[in-house]
């Protein structure tokens, strides 16, 4: 039986164990390194974003019509000789299937892979009722023999080594297996399972598609076990989530064009099987297969009506969101989901398997958006994860102290800034250069993976009047949105902006009523606070008064753009939020596209190689990828590409405080990659990433200088 801890403390022990598992780390790392390229190859010649948008649109059109599609499907499938059932709950589905088995005098059952059957714990139900159930997908069979759940939706046994499998098969066959002879092990499975296929009375499959138009179900497999399961036994039962209904063949083909490409980088899976009704089956009475299709609701119909979560039903179960998740890569599926794993798993667990199972895992997300960027159904996974987190906090109450404090301080800018200023004074005795000498009280040993910066002596807002040259008759009027980190920790980045733009006739302003962008509140599940802060910022920075609103913080920038969603229903402010979205710009885009800086403005080259870290909220959050590299090259910087440049550095705001073990490991890999490419400097365009990378570099005593890209550009100006 699958166990997922309901409290963070136990969960963290599991995480620690997983992080210490060398094999798991290496195998998932190898997979994660190979996946992007094979995926890219598979999609070559196809516009992925366009395809994803089409799939999303198709699903959004059909999700509200699930019940109609079900009716049409049922009529067509009946005509073709199938019996169609509808189960409202998991237990109902299992019971229906058990009674089909009973009615038909079934003893032995073979199964092909079905996440829906995993969802309902069908095997356990059938075994309890006395049936012998055998999984036939190799990976599923392996984990069934081990009594585990899948650790990946497409590759269920990816967490196991050849040694684990050899040991298991030695036990099963009584013959010594050689772990290095994978071919021989596969042969064992072929022989053992072939026998089971021939003896079985009933085959159970899932379905990737149920086509309303013609009553056909579609099955996608590589091994071909799905074909045997649906051919040899006299009874076939397909267990299908109602979200698998599609209106027509066109929709099914569209999804099929994305599913294997995104799942395993294959153009198509080896076997795709379309079954309509009761097919010929010579071992059945009248040579017609006894065919039952059981549709599972289990909350899906209600989910379909939810304004936010209905998106989750678009999922085509490709597993892509796990493949690219930096946390999945470290800890594996057994620690990153319950039955469903990966980003979509964090969400579905709450709905299909309950709060207890979702409570801890749902906090374990960096909001790095890697999952969202590869989802072929265009699901806004990080957002839904936060919404689940929020829902659990709301339901469970009272809220954690962190949330209460966050809410109190952020909702009152004066208090918040007063606290930050006082903090700067109070920390004085423990400051050492730009870092804190000790970690503050509530930190533990595990937080020691990076040094924390000291708050600046004078925040940017208090220096602003002095340092800002106030250009008369400017060409452009630009508001600077500081964000907490630039303002109170790294004001030198603001200075660098002014220096970098010297001579371009830009008048910068720093609207003093601006506050935290509100993203930390949203990340903590405090949506109302986030909304209030957003309103406050919109009042402080009227986008109509400026040509651009620049921010040096990728997270602030991406979140400011999201105000349009957050405040969409707000009268009047909705318009301003939309205007703001059009005016927010990052440093590199501003320099290259607006000011069009000229290489002649920069001192000739010198210094060593420079590496670049792409902040999640810039490259994926705002789709800015070319500009920073372009700017570096314009400024004559010798930029060197590092491995996994676009993988999260592990900061994730307060994530790094909540899950320091994960944050530390991601940071370590990031800095190792930088060290490997021989860079002497590392630039990025987010003060959050700077905090993480600089603190980590300092802690490990590394020599690479970490700075904001604005600082490097300013230094290079003539």
Partner 1 sequence: MAKEDSTAQFAERARSVQTVVAEAKDLAAVFEYAADITVKQGGDTLAAPGIQGKERDRLLEVCRAKGIELICGELRETAGRISTGLTGADWGIAQTGTLVMDSKSEDIRLASMLCETHVAFIKKSRIAPDAGTIEKELSKMMKASHGYLAFISGASRTADIERVLTIGVHGPRELHVLIIGEDGQ
685 Cβ neighbours under 8 A, 6+ residues apart: 552, 554, 586, 587, 588, 615, 618, 628, 708, 709, 710
User: Alpha carbon of 115 to those of 112, 228, 316: distances in Å?
Assistant: 10, 18, 11
Identify the three-state secondary structure at position 241.
Answer: strand
Residue 227 interaction partner, one of ligand SF4, partner 1, none, beta carbon < 5-8 Å per kind: partner 1
Q: Tell the smallest beta-carbon distance from residue 339 to partner 1 (Å).
A: 18
Site size toward partner 1, by CB under 8 A: 66
Query: Residue numbers of the site for ligand SF4 (CB under 6 A)?
Result: 315-321, 325-327, 342-344, 365-371, 374-377, 379, 381-382
In the complex, least distance from residue 460 CB atom to ligand SF4, rounded to whole angstroms? 29
In angstroms, rounded to a whole number, what is the distance separating the alpha carbons of residues 653 and 406?
A: 13
Min. distance of Cβ 315 from ligand SF4 in angstroms? 3
Judged by beta carbon distances under 5 to 8 A according to partner kind, the member of partner 1, ligand SF4, none in contact with residue 283 is partner 1
Report, in Å, the least distance between residue 264 CB and partner 1.
8
Q: How far apart are CA 242 and CA 86, in angstroms?
A: 9
Tally the C-alpha atoms within 13 A of residue 54's C-alpha that lie toward its C-beta.
15
Of 3, 57, 190, 539, the one binding partner 1 by CB under 8 A: 190
- With CB under 5 to 8 Å by kind, the binding choice for 343 among partner 1, ligand SF4, none is ligand SF4
Would you count residue 224 as binding partner 1 (CB under 8 A)?
A: yes
H or E element that contains 203: strand 202-205
Q: Does residue 271 touch partner 1 according to CB under 8 A?
A: yes
Contact 521, 612 (CB under 8 A): no
Q: Considering only the stretches 63-71, 76-84, 557-565, 680-688, report the one whose residues sit in contact with partner 1 under the rule CB under 8 A.
A: 76-84
Cis peptide before 607 (omega within 30 of 0): no
Indicate which of partner 1, ligand SF4, none lies near residue 193 (CB less than 5 to 8 Å, by partner kind).
partner 1
Nearest approach, Cβ of residue 403 and ligand SF4 (Å): 19
The C-alpha atoms of residue 556 and residue 559 are separated, in whole angstroms, by 5
Name the β-bridge partners of 414. none
Residues near 125 by beta carbon (within 8 Å), at least 6 away in sequence: 91, 94, 95, 97, 98
Among the listed residues 4, 269, 424, 692, the single contact to partner 1 using CB under 8 A: 269
Q: Among residues 270, 422, 545, 654, which is the contact residue for partner 1, using CB under 8 A?
A: 270
Chain positions 594 to 653 lying near partner 1, rule: CB under 8 A, are: none
Is 416 within 8 Å of 483 (Cβ atoms)? no
Give which of ligand SF4, partner 1, none residue 382 binds (C-beta under 5 to 8 Å, depending on kind). Answer: ligand SF4
Q: Confirm if 620 and 380 have CB atoms less than 8 A apart.
A: no
Indicate which of partner 1, ligand SF4, none lies near residue 189 (CB less than 5 to 8 Å, by partner kind).
Answer: partner 1
Minimum distance from residue 229 beta carbon to partner 1 (Å): 10
Contacts of 130 (CB under 8 A, 6+ apart): none
209: nearest Cα among 68, 60, 73: 73
Among 523, 35, 91, CA closest to 265: 35
Q: Determine the Cα–Cα distance for residues 608 and 489; give it in Å rounded to an integer.
A: 27
Contact stretch for partner 1 (CB under 8 A) within 250-258, 553-561, 609-617, 676-684:
250-258
Q: Which is it for strands 271-276 and 216-221: parallel, antiparallel or unpaired? A: antiparallel
The residue (of 256 and 616) whose beta carbon lies closer to partner 1 is 256
Q: Is the peptide bond before 398 cis (omega within 30 degrees of 0)?
A: yes
Using rule CB under 8 A, residue 250 touches partner 1:
yes
If contact means CB under 5 to 8 A according to the sort of partner, which of partner 1, ligand SF4, none does residue 190 touch? partner 1
Smallest distance, Å, CB 601 to ligand SF4?
37
> Which residues inside 656-685 make contact with partner 1, applying CB under 8 A?
none
In angstroms, rounded to a whole number, what is the distance separating the alpha carbons of residues 631 and 637? 9
Please report, for residues 115, 303, 312, the alpha-carbon distance to residue 348 in angstroms, rounded to integers and kept in the order given.
12, 10, 8
Residues 119 and 298: beta-carbon distance below 8 Å: yes
Nearest CB to ligand SF4, comparing residues 294 and 381: 381
The per-residue DSSP string of 254-296 comes to HHHHHHHHHHHS-SS-SEEEEEESS-B-TTSGGGB-EEEEEEE
Q: At closest approach, how far in Å is the CB of 190 from partner 1?
A: 6
Q: Which does 79 bind (CB under 5 to 8 A by kind): partner 1, ligand SF4, none?
A: partner 1
To ligand SF4, the closest distance from the beta carbon of 328 in angstroms equals: 6
In the complex with partner 1, the residue whose CB is nearer, 175 or 604, is: 175
Binding of partner 1 by 264 (CB under 8 A):
yes
Residues 6+ apart with CB under 8 A from 236: 202, 203, 204, 205, 229, 230, 275, 289, 290, 291, 292
Instruction: Assess 55 for contact with partner 1 (CB under 8 A).
Output: no
From residue 37, give the alpha-carbon distance in Å to each of 28, 138, 255, 324, 673. 15, 26, 21, 12, 18
Judged by beta carbon distances under 5 to 8 A according to partner kind, the member of ligand SF4, partner 1, none in contact with residue 318 is: ligand SF4
DSSP-derived pairing of the beta strands 584-586 and 435-436 = unpaired
Site string for partner 1, 11-40 (x = CB under 8 A): ----------------x--xx---------
Q: How far is CA 260 from the centre of its chain?
A: 19
Q: Of 392, 69, 451, whose CA–CA distance to 251 is shortest? A: 69
Rounded to the nearest whole angstrom, what is the least distance from the CB of residue 313 to ligand SF4 in the complex?
10
Q: Is residue 146 close enough to count as binding partner 1 by CB under 8 A? A: no
Cβ proximity to partner 1, 341 vs 456, nearer residue = 341
Select 196 or 386, whichever has its Cβ closest to ligand SF4.
Answer: 386
**Contact between 79 and partner 1 (CB under 8 A)?**
yes
Part of the chain binding partner 1 (CB under 8 A), chosen from 77-85, 319-327, 543-551, 569-577: 77-85
Strand 82-87 relative to strand 435-436, pairing: unpaired
CB of 616 to ligand SF4, least distance (A): 7
330 contacts 19 by C-beta, under 8 angstroms: yes
Partner whose footprint covers residue 376, from partner 1, ligand SF4, none (CB < 5 to 8 Å by kind): ligand SF4
- Strand 610-613: give its sheet, edge to edge: 639-640, 610-613, 681-684, 705-708
The answer to whether 139 contacts partner 1 (rule: CB under 8 A) is yes
> Is the CB of residue 335 less than 8 Å from the CB of residue 14?
yes
Residues engaged in binding partner 1 (CB under 8 A): 27, 30-31, 79-81, 136-139, 142, 155-158, 160-162, 165, 182-183, 185-186, 189-190, 193-194, 198, 211, 213-214, 216, 222-225, 227-228, 230-231, 249-250, 253, 256-257, 264, 266-283, 287-288
């Amino acid at each position: 039986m699958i166990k997922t801890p309901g409290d963070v403390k136990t969960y963290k022990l599991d995480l620690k164990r997983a992080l210490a598992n060398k094999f798991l780390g290496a195998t998932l790392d190898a997979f994660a390194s190979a996946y992007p390229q094979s995926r890219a190859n598979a999609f070559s010649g196809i516009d992925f974003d366009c395809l994803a948008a089409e799939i999303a649109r198709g699903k959004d059109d059909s999700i509200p019509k699930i019940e109609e599609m079900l009716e049409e499907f049922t009529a067509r499938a009946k005509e073709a000789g199938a019996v169609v059932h509808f189960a409202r709950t998991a237990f109902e589905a299992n019971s229906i299937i058990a009674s089909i088995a009973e009615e038909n005098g079934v003893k032995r059952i073979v199964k092909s892979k079905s996440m829906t059957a995993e969802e309902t714990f069908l095997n356990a139900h059938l075994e309890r009722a006395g049936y012998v159930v055998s999984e036939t997908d190799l990976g599923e069979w392996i984990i069934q023999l081990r009594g585990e759940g899948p650790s990946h939706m497409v590759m269920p046994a990816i967490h196991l080594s050849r040694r684990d499998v050899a040991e298991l098969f030695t036990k099963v066959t009584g013959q010594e297996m050689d772990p290095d002879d994978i071919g021989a092990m596969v042969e064992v499975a072929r022989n053992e399972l072939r026998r089971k296929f021939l003896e079985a009375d009933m085959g159970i499959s899932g379905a990737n598609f149920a086509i309303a138009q013609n009553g056909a179900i579609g099955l996608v497999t590589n091994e071909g076990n799905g074909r045997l399961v649906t051919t040899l036994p006299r009874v076939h039962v397909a267990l299908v989530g109602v979200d698998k209904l599609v209106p027509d063949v066109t929709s099914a083909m569209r999804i099929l064009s994305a599913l294997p490409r995104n799942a395993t980088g294959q153009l198509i899976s080896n076997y795709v099987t379309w079954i309509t009704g009761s097919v010929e089956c010579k071992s059945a009475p009248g040579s017609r297969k006894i065919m039952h299709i059981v549709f599972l609701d289990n909350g899906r119909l209600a989910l379909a009506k939810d304004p936010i979560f209905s998106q989750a039903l678009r999922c085509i179960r490709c597993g892509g969101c796990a493949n690219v998740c930096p946390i999945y890569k470290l800890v594996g599926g057994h620690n990153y989901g319950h039955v469903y794993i990966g980003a979509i798993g964090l969400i579905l667990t709450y709905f299909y398997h309950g709060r207890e199972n979702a409570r801890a895992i749902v906090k374990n997300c960096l909001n790095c958006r890697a999952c969202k960027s590869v989802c072929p159904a265009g699901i806004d996974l990080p957002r839904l994860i936060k919404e689940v987190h929020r829902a659990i906090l709301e339901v469970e109450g009272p809220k954690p102290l962190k949330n209460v404090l966050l809410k109190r301080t952020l909702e009152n800018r004066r208090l918040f800034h007063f606290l930050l200023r006082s903090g700067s004074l109070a920390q004085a005795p423990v400051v050492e250069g730009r870092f804190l000498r000790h970690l503050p009280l509530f930190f533990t040993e595990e937080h020691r993976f990076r040094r924390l910066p000291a708050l600046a002596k004078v925040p940017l807002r208090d220096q602003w009047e002095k340092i800002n040259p106030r250009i008369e008759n400017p060409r452009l009027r630009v508001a600077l949105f500081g964000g907490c980190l630039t303002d109170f920790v790294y004001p030198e980045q603001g200075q660098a902006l002014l220096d970098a733009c010297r001579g371009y006739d830009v008048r910068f302003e720093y609207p003093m009523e601006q506050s935290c962008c509100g993203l930390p509140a949203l990340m903590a599940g405090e949506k109302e606070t986030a909304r209030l802060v957003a309103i406050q910022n919109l009042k402080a920075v009227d986008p109509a008064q400026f040509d651009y609103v620049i921010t040096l913080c990728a997270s602030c920038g991406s979140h400011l753009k999201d105000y349009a969603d957050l405040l969409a229903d707000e009268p009047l402010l909705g318009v301003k939020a939309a205007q703001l979205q059009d005016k927010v710009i990052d440093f590199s885009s501003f320099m290259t596209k607006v000011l069009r800086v000229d290489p002649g403005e920069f001192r000739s080259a010198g210094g060593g190689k420079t590496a670049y870290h792409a902040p999640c909220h810039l490259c994926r959050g705002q789709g800015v990828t070319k500009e920073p590299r372009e700017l570096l090259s314009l400024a004559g910087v010798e930029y060197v590409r590092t491995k996994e440049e676009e993988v999260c550095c592990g900061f994730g705001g307060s994530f790094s405080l909540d899950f320091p073990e994960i944050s530390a490991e991601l940071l370590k890999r990031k800095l190792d990659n930088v060290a490997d490419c021989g860079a002497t400097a590392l630039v990025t365009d987010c003060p959050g990433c700077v905090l993480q990378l600089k603190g980590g570099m300092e802690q490990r005593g590394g020599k690479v200088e970490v700075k904001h890209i604005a600082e490097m550009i300013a230094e290079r100006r003539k």
